Structure 1
Amino acid sequence: MSPTSFINFTFLPKYISFFIQGIEYTLLVSIVSVLIAVIPALILALMRLSKNWFIRSLSGIYIAVFRSTPLLVQLALVYYGVFNFIKIPSYHLFGFINLAMFIPGVVALALNSAAYVAEIFRAGILAVDSGQNEAARSLGLSAGMSMAYVVLPQAIKNILPALANEVVTMVKESSILSTLGMVELMWAAKTVSATTYITIGPYVLAALMYFCINYPASKVIEVIERRMRRGDKR
C-alpha cells in the first residue's frame, strides 16, 4: 500500500500505544489547563466589572494581549522565557509525562484559556438579573457576599456549557504542544509518520481520534444546554 494513501494504517499494530498515550496526554493537559484557568479567569472577570478604571484596564490589557497574539508565540515565551529561569525537575509521571515539559505547557494553555474564560464569566455574571443583587443588598449582604452567595452561583449555572466547550476547544489547541516534543496526540502522529515514512495515515488516524473525542462531547454539551434551558422556563 502506498505511503501516501489515506487508508494506510499498517503502522497500527506496532505503534498503537503511541496514539493511546497521546490521547491520555491530550485529555489530561486539556482538562488540567481549563481547571487551572478558572480561578485567574474569575479574578479577571471581576476586575473587568470593577468600578475602578485602573483595575478594569489591567484586566482588559491581559485579555487583549492573550486573545490577540498566537498561542504558539505564548507557548514559546512561557517555555523558553519564564521556565528558563524556573527550573522544573525532569520527573516522569505514568512513564510518559515529563513534568519539565508538562507544567510549562499547562501554564501556557491556562494563561491563554483564562483570557477567554474570563469573558465567559463576565457574560454569565452580567446575564444574572440585577434585581438579584439588589435584593441581596437589601437583606444586608455586602457587595462581596452578594456576589459570592447570590450572583456567582447563578452565573456558574449559565456558563457551565460554555466552560465545557472551552475544554473541547482546548483538546484541539493542545496539539500545538507537539512543537515542543510533548507526547500528545499530534506528536504521536508526527513521530509515527517520520519513523515509518507513512506520510498521511498517522495524521488521518489522529484526525479521527480528535473527532471521536470532540464530536460526541459537543453533542453531550448541546443536550445539557437544552435541558438547562427547559429548567429555566419552568
Structure 2
Amino acid sequence: MSQPEHPPRIEISDGASIPDPWDKRLINAWSISLVGAVSLLTYLCVRYPDVYGKILSLLPEGIIVTFKVTIYSFAATVPIGVLVGIGRLSRNRFINLIASTYVETIRGIPLLVQLFYIFFSLNQLLHVPDFLAAIIALSFCYGAYMGEVFRAGINAINKGQTEAARSLGFTRFQTMRYIILPQAWRTILPPIGNECIAMLKDTSLLSVVAITDVFRIAREYASVSYQYFETYTVIALVYLIITLILSKCVSVMEARLSHYDKR
C-alpha cells in the first residue's frame, strides 16, 4: 500500500505553529514574523542603545539557563510521555487507571500551581536543589501532555501493523518497540516539537520559584529601572525569535524524516 504524499499530522492548539515543511514560498507567515521581530529588535537596540540595548545585554545568561532547563526537562518528559501513552492504551485495567488518573489530575490543575506545589514540596521534604527541583516539576507536569501525544500517535498507526507483528511471533513489547513506535515518530514529531517549544515558553513561570531565567532577569531589571514597557517588549521579541527558529527546526526535521521514509 503506497504512502500518502504528505504524512498525517496531529494538530494541537497550544504552543507554536509549526511551519508547513512543504511550503517553499520565500514570503510566508513564518518568514514575515521572523524578519519583523529581528528587524524591530535591531532597530530598537540601535536607535535606543541606552535602553533597549542595555536590556538585551543583560539576557544572555538567562537565555542559557532557560535552554538548560528546557533541554533537561524535555529529556525527562519524553520517557514519561512514552510510558503514560502506552499506559493509557494498556489492556491492564490497573495500569490504565494509574496513567489515566495522572493525566486527568495534571490537566485539571493550572501549570503554575503545579510548579509551586511540586517545587516547594521537593525542597521541604527532600531538600532538592532549586535547579533540579524545577526540572522535576516541569517534567512531571508536561509528562501528561506528552503522554497524550504518544497515545494519539500510537492510535494513528493501522491496527493491521500490530496484528501482523503478533502473527510473526512478536511479543507486545517487541511490537511496540520495533514496529509501532518507529512508525509513530513521523506522525508525532510536530506535536512533540510543539510541546518542547511550549515548555521553553513556560519556563518563564519558573522565575517565581528562584530560577534565574531570562524572564526573572528582565523582571528584576524592570522593578529597579521602572522601564516595564521597554523590558517586556524586548522579552517578547526574544521569545518570539527563539520560538520561530525552533519551530522551523522542527519543520525541517519533519521534512527530512518524511524524505527518508519515501526512500
Give the counterpart of 2:110 among 70, 91, 94. Answer: 70
How many residue pairs match? The answer is 217
Residue equivalent to 1:105 = 134
147-156 or 14-23, larger mean C-alpha shift: 14-23
Q: Does 1:124 align with 2:164?
A: no
Corresponding letter in the other structure for 1:112 = C
Find the counterpart in structure 1 of residue 61 from structure 2.
21
Q: Distance in 1 between the 2:199 and 2:185 partners?
A: 20
Structure 2 portions without partners, runs of 5+ = 1-43
Distance (whole Å) between structure 1 residues aligned to residue 200 and residue 49 of structure 2? 23
Measure, in 2, the Cα distance between the counterparts of 1:26 and 1:169: 12
In structure 2, relative to structure 1, the CA distance for the partners of 1:112 and 1:203 (3 Å cut) is same
Out of 243, 248, 253, the position equivalent to 1:214 is 243
Q: 1:82 aligns to what?
A: 122
Runs of 4+ in 1 over 4 A off after TM superposition: 11-17, 226-234
Q: Percent identity?
A: 35
**What is the Cα deviation at residue 33 of structure 1?**
0.8
Deviations, residues 104-153 of structure 1 (Å, cap 9, x unaligned): 11111101110011011111111112121111111111111111111111
Q: CA RMSD in A?
A: 2.0
Counterpart of 2:75 in structure 1 is 35
Give the direction of change, closer, same or farther, for the CA distance of 1:13–1:223 in structure 2 (3 Å limit).
closer
Question: 1 CA distance for matches of 2:52 and 2:61?
Answer: 13
- Aligned with residue 59 of structure 1, among 99, 124, 130: 99
Offset from partner CA, 1:49-97 (integer Å, 9 cap, x none): 1112222121111001111111111111112123211113xxxxxxxxx
Q: Which amino acid aligns with 1:213?
A: I
Match of 1:151 in 2: 180
Q: Which amino acid aligns with 1:169?
A: A
> Aligned partners of 2:180, 2:159: CA distance in 1, in Å?
9
Rounded to whole Å, the distance in 1 between the matches of 2:247 and 2:61 is 23
- TM-score normalised by structure 2 residue count: 0.76
Q: Secondary structure at the match of 2:231?
A: helix
Q: Secondary structure at the match of 1:69?
A: coil
Q: Which has the higher contact order (CA 8 A, sep 6+)?
A: 2
The DSSP-based 3-state class of the residue aligned with 1:45 is: helix
Query: Is the 2:52–2:234 contact (alpha carbons within 8 Å) kept by the matching residues of 1?
Result: no
- List gaps (5 residues or longer) in structure 1: 1-6, 89-99
Say if 2:123 and 2:130, in contact at 8 Å, map to a contact too: no
Question: TM-score when scaled to structure 1?
Answer: 0.84
How far apart are the structure 2 equivalents of 1:199 and 1:160? 37
Q: In 2, distance between residues paired with 1:72 and 1:151?
A: 34
Q: Is the 8 A contact 2:63 2:214 kept in 1?
A: yes
With 153-162 and 181-190 compared, the bigger mean Cα shift is at 153-162
Q: Are 1:164 and 2:204 an aligned pair?
A: no
Contact 1:9–1:202 under 8 Å retained in 2: no
Cα–Cα, structure 1 residues 84 and 144, in superposed 2: closer, same or farther, change >3 Å?
same
Q: Which amino acid aligns with 2:121?
A: G
Return the alpha-carbon distance in structure 1 between the equivalents of residues 56 and 245 of structure 2: 22
